[in-house]
Chains A and B, each alone.
Chain A
Amino acid sequence: MATLERPPTTTQALTRLWSTPAGLVGWLSAVNHRAIGARFMVTALAFFLLAGVQALAIRLQLARPGLSILSPEAYNQNFTMHGVVMMFLFAIPVLEGLGMYIVPLMIGTRDMAFPRLSAFGYWVYLLAGLGLFGAFFLGSAPNSGWFNYVPLSGPGFSPGANIDFYAVLLTFLEISALAAAVELIVTILKQRAPGMAIHRIPLFVWSILVMAFMIVFAMPALIVASVMLELDRAAGTHFYNPAAGGDPLLWQHLFWFFGHPEVYIILLPALGIVSAIVATFTRRPVMGYTAVALSTVAIGFLSFGLWVHHMFATGVPLLGTSFFAAASMMIAIPSGVQVFAWIATIANGRIVLKTPFLYVLGFIFLFVLGGITGVMVAAMPFDLQVHDSYFVVAHFHYVIIGGMVFPLLGGLFYWFPKMTGKLPGERLGRWSFWLQFIGFNLTFFGMHILGFWGMPRRIYTYLPGFGWDFLNLVATIGAFILGLGFVLYLANLAYSLWRGEPAGDDPWGGATLEWATTSPPPQYNFRAIPTVRSRTPLWDEEEPDDADRARDHTRRMVALPDEGREILSTTVVDARPQGRVLLPGPSLWPFWLAAAVGFIFYGMLFDLILVPIGAVLAAAALVAWHWPREEEEAP
């Protein structure tokens, strides 16, 4: 190869190579990780708002005893969709989108390992999400709760199409989560900047890596469970039918084998966001890097040994429940390690109290509370008392909103300047934080007490005279304050996108590679591939605010030839350069494949004869997707 006489890599050549075509076709064929990541996040936030409205409808119905704002059937669909949408259409996709956007920048590469797979995953997600909301607006949304227990959801007790939407569309949707997981793993293992050996991977990237592995091993159980349920409903099988040798508990085992790791799937990336924000806003690396990274991995492993603690009330043998209770308490140890590491970092740091850091402080407070109630319900005798009561509702909202949504909002605020080039408004940011923090505690703290007072979850109304009226009213008022906080937060970001101050490359003085490129990053992320000598490459030389010398690492960059969409492939452990990989460019085929696979799944809902037709279409789209282009055939 005559490589030496080539002109040096120019930004124009790179821009031309990495750009996405214009127009509608260009939009449908985009594969760039930042475009796809942003679509995931924006779509997930839209679903978040819709599910938030459903939550407000629930709270309105429960504000006073005996209200009839929602009919019992509408109430069931509302609370089921609220859970399904928050877990499947918001929490996982928004974190995957954030990972897809930030991870390649943080590890110093130019795109995800399989750019077309990113696009495919997004289209699958969008098509499945629209279907679920379509069912909701048609009045036949899933209505058996987000964990959808049989026999209630079986053919005998739910003859309508509601549960078919659940079983079919969730299976379809999980393809998207699995696709994102596969490529996040490969990107993190194989595309880290030279020198970013395994002991220098940023903690956020560690958390995304463990999350992706957990998706790989957890989601298939849900797919198998849902497919069996749909077969029971549509094809007359008997997996969950005890009269013919099946067992309803099989659903619970499979569901919670997915469902408990799922909780940590959405928690771990949030812990990673916290580590990133804590380091930046205390001006020092997180203390105990190795302990934090290993506890992230430990949480990932342990979370697969906990699922039966959701089933203590089902009569599982005592020996089994004792084991699962012990494992459930054990997971408090690695979680505690992380909390202590952040506290130690904060105690020793020079704190910059900006909005992202406020969200982290709020997170630590709420997550510790949710963690404590988690240890409480891990004890089986206690669990039997509060099972299916509002205590459990309070517990998991503390863990999920406190543990995942607060760090996420902090993280979006933190990376917003990088994504848009604009600074988000600090004043409005603080207002939205305090509204959310106060509204959240008003809504959910009283629910602990309601649970002790015997209020069961999932009831569409209650009678006066149980003493539940006041706390329910407070919860409804709190929910609206919380909702106002969310709207204010999103309005702040939207306004800042339009009118925000220019952010510059590194507005917060961060230490990781995403702050080394421009805001927003160019199509190709980095003009040359950076190399790394420590965990905090941008803080290496000196004080972080010395911008000139902090950019010193660019002198050691690897320039790739500007002939194609090339990235550097590095070794898994040491991140030593191994080869150059040519990535595929924009293509419409991911969209068509998603449409064909959608045809299979939507076909199941109408007529099984459509399924083989969709399968043929999907096979054709797959072949077309992978067929080598002409220019590659040249010797």
Chain B
Amino acid sequence: MSATTAPPAEALPVEVSGTQAPLWWGMLVFLAVDSTIFAALISSYFYLRVTQAETWPPAGLAPPGLLLPALSGAVLLASAGPVLWADRGLRRGDGRALRLGLPLACALAALFLILKAVEFVARPYLWSTNAYGSLVWTIDGAHAAHVLAALLQAVVVAVLAWRGHFTPRRRVGVETAALFWYFVVAAGLAVYATLYLAPRLI
């Protein structure tokens, strides 16, 4: 059979997932867009630090505290676990992992947002204090908005899962939601390293 002799269409699967599914690739390209947004924000952060600031954070501000962000960061990192469990579980046909994993991940994301809110309120400076404040509030706020979006998306997917919408073959919706979740966690690590570690380390 030569490469261009097409198989009968009936032999091809209808529900595709993973790299076979256009939706999976669509999510990947969307994440490329989103990564570029974070890259531009983080580049702006370092650009202003390098070109404008003599000390960082600017005079009068202490370096950001480490404990609360580390705690919220750990919660965010942990939330990837149940998502992975749900995603892998569905692939094996384990609907329970899906139905339990997603609500658990949502609970962790909600906890992350509460911790972040506490941290935001406790900050001794505002976005309008100086460019440093503008950067921290904007970058951290943009990331928190992403967590909120991932949370809402996971709620919808969880409702569909409880209604029995997904099957091991029809799972691309869960896969793409999981991809977005992993991305938000990874972006959170990059933001954490930029805002909390870099001022002390470099």
Contact = CB atoms under 8 A, between A and B. Distances in A.
Interface string B165-201: 1000000010000000000000000000000000000
Interface in A205-242: 216-217, 219-221, 223-225, 228, 231-232, 235-239, 241-242
A245 B36 contact: no
Contacts of B156: 623, 626
Given A247-B52, A577-B6, A582 B131 contact: no
A64 B160 CA distance: 69
B13 A579 contact: yes
B37 A223 contact: yes
B16 A581 contact: yes
Contact of B40 (A197, A220, A626): A220
Given A238-B131, A581-B16, A581-B21, A561 B9 contact: yes
A186 B29 contact: yes
B30 A182 contact: yes
A300 B201 CA distance: 36
Interface stretch (B43-51, B76-84, B92-100, B108-116): B43-51
Nearest to B35: A220
Contacts of A380: none
A556 B22 contact: no
A529 B5 CA distance: 12
Contacts of A238: 128, 130-131, 133-134
B44 A182 contact: no
Size class of the A contact interface (CB-based, 8 Å) = 35 or more
Nearest to A194: B6
Contacts of B13: 579-580
A244 B53 CA distance: 10
A182 B29 contact: yes
* Residue among B9, B14, B15 with most chain A CB within 10 A: B9
A195 B3 contact: yes
B94 to A, nearest CB: 19
Given A568-B9, A578-B20, A236 B4 contact: no
A579 B14 contact: yes
Nearest to A626: B156
A304 to B, nearest CB: 11
B124 interface: no
Contacts of B40: 220-221, 224-225, 254, 257
A3 interface: yes
Given A216-B33, A245-B48, A580 B3 contact: no
Contact of B36 (A3, A220, A225, A569): A220
Contacts of B8: 558
Contacts of B23: 114
A633 B26 CA distance: 23
Contact of A579 (B20, B25, B130): B20
Contact of A178 (B5, B33, B127): B33
Given A221-B40, A247-B47, A582 B4 contact: no
Contacts of A426: none
A628 B165 contact: yes
Nearest to A212: B29
Interface string A109-123: 000011000000000
A323 to B, nearest CB: 17
Nearest to A534: B4
B12 A577 contact: yes
Contacts of A228: 44, 134, 138
B107 interface: no
A195 B135 CA distance: 50
A146 B156 CA distance: 41
Best-surrounded residue of A186, A216, A242, A556 (most CB of chain B within 10 A): A186
A250 interface: yes
A559 interface: yes
A532 interface: yes
A441 B40 CA distance: 39
A3 B10 contact: yes
Given A569-B22, A576-B3, A628-B165, A237 B128 contact: yes
Contact of B20 (A242, A558, A569): A569
Nearest to B134: A237
Most buried by A among B5, B51, B58: B51
Contacts of A181: 29
A536 interface: no
A449 interface: no
Nearest to A240: B131
Given A236-B127, A244-B130, A623-B156, 12 more contacts: A4-B10, A194-B4, A219-B33, A238-B134, A245-B52, A245-B53, A529-B9, A568-B12, A569-B21, A579-B14, A580-B12, A619-B152
Interface of B: 3-10, 12-16, 19-23, 25-26, 29-30, 32-34, 36-37, 39-41, 44, 47-48, 51-53, 58, 127-135, 137-138, 152, 156, 160, 165, 173
10 contacts: A186-B22, A187-B22, A225-B40, A228-B134, A249-B51, A560-B9, A578-B20, A579-B12, A581-B16, A626-B173
Interface of A: 1, 3-4, 113-114, 178, 181-183, 185-187, 189-191, 194-195, 197, 216-217, 219-221, 223-225, 228, 231-232, 235-239, 241-242, 244-247, 249-250, 253-254, 257, 529, 531-533, 556-561, 566, 568-569, 572, 574, 576-582, 619, 623, 626, 628, 633
